[in-house]
Amino acid sequence: MGPTPTPSSPTSKARRSALADFLRTRRAALRPVDVGLDPGPGRRRTPGLRREEVAQLSGVGLSWYTWLEQGRVVTPSGQVLLALSRALALTAAERDHLFHLAALPPPPPGEPRSTPTPPR
């Protein structure tokens, strides 16, 4: 096994960039009604969910989620990744890919994948 990439290494930068792109594309693919949110009146400027909505659904701070999407040096825990995978309604394969991009082992195959709970 090779050396662990540092936050500024090319491998780490590429991984953060891929993670950011993955989160953005999955967020853009969902509509508010897909996750039980009211889209509100009129046309939305953002395709799919807003960052605020993903943060709210997953219980992750907005700034922290924004940093993930920007590819900044932050290290998500497995618990955060599971929350994001539920909020983004990821399939098991997509969830495992998310964990791979974050350089974490995926959860056990029997890990329940529930749908996001609408905000109260």
Q: Whole-angstrom Cα distance, residue 106 to residue 98?
A: 8
Q: Whole-angstrom Cα distance, residue 110 to residue 84?
A: 18
Per-residue confidence of the chain (120 residues) as pLDDT tens digits?
Answer: 445 545 555 458 899 999 999 999 999 999 888 888 877 777 777 779 999 999 999 999 999 999 999 999 888 999 999 999 999 999 999 999 999 999 999 988 765 554 444 444
Q: Whole-angstrom Cα distance, residue 105 to residue 120?
A: 32
What is the reported pTM?
Answer: 0.79
